[in-house]
Each structure stands twice: as structure tokens, then as C-alpha cells.
Amino acid sequence: MTETTIIGLTNQARMASHYRLQWEEVQKSWVLLYPEGMVKLNGSAGEIMQRLDGVKTVQTVIDDLEKQFDATGLAPDVLDFLAIAQRQGWVKA
């Protein structure tokens, strides 16, 4: 059994290799495409997923989101989403 690293603020999270993020104009949303289908993301999830490049730390992603949306305190929500996305196999630490 492989242990999964819990994604934290210092991790450089990235999308799992068999997923592809794409904007779907018809649905007006970001979607994750994979061989068996598609996952429609809500606006917040799409904003987070766009920034996961495997280079930036999660803290840098949060800082960027807070700056872009003139918000503070997004860390708990971003970390919660990343935990769900990791369990779904969408992202890796």
C-alpha cells in the first residue's frame, strides 16, 4: 500500500497526469477530462485547479487567489478542496 502525502501549505501540488483541465464554453465552467469521462468543477475549484502547476507551493496559490479576489482567510477552504481532490485522484502532492 502506498502512503499518500497530505497536501499542506508547503507542497507543490499538481494535477494527476491522466486528467486535463479545460474550459467548456457551453457549460461556462472548468472541467476535468479523463479517459472515462468528465468532472464539472464549480468556480472556486476551477480557480484552484488552474494554478496547480507542480512548481508553486499551495501557499503561493492561496496568496494568488487572495490577491486576485481581494479576500483573506482562504487557506482552510483551499486545503479542504485539495484534500477532496486528492482523495478523488485529481491532484498529487
Domains, the chain, with CATH or none: 17-92 (1.10.10.1150)
Other CB atoms within a 10 A radius of the CB of residue 41 amount to 22
- Kindly state the helix (H) or strand (E) to which residue 91 belongs, with its residue range: strand 91-92
Place of cell 498529487: 92
Flag residues of the chain having pLDDT under 50. Answer: 1
